[in-house]
Amino acid sequence: MNISIDVKELDQQTTMTLAGEIDAYTAPQLRETAFPYTEKKQASVVIDLSGVTYMDSTGLGVFVGLFKSLNANDGTLKLVGLSDRLKRLFDITGLADIMNINSEAEGGV
């Protein structure tokens, strides 16, 4: 019932690999860890969600926040490795049309 966040930085790109559950308990930790990477100019952030076993609206809220921050700094956010469950959550909330999400782990464009 926890979350692990692994961050790798290469040039302008930041790749975060998440594993565990994203709920109201773990979301603040995720937001705090990820947010600074979205504030750099033209940053490219890729978040791998293939290890995420549970997520609800608090998780969606974090990704919306990161997305907005990156947009404000001319950066991009890509969410990859979404399970069918996670994909559905983005679909029913309408976020799938707005954000760049991909079921493939490597995020093949």
Shortest separation between residue 19's beta carbon and other proteins, angstroms: 15
Q: Which is nearer to other proteins, 46 or 66 (CB)?
A: 66
Minimum CB distance to other proteins smaller for 45 or for 89 = 89
Q: What is the largest CA-CA distance in the chain?
A: 35
Distance of closest approach, residue 46 Cβ to other proteins, in angstroms: 18
Picking from 37, 97, 107, the residue whose alpha carbon sits closest to that of residue 73 is 37
- In whole angstroms, give the CA distance from residue 40 to residue 37: 6
- Contact residues toward other proteins (CB under 8 A) are 1, 21, 23-25, 54, 56-58, 60-61, 64-65, 67-68, 71, 85, 89, 92-95, 97-98
Give me the amino acid identity at 13: Q
Phi first, then psi: what are they for 33, rounded to 5°? Answer: -70, -45
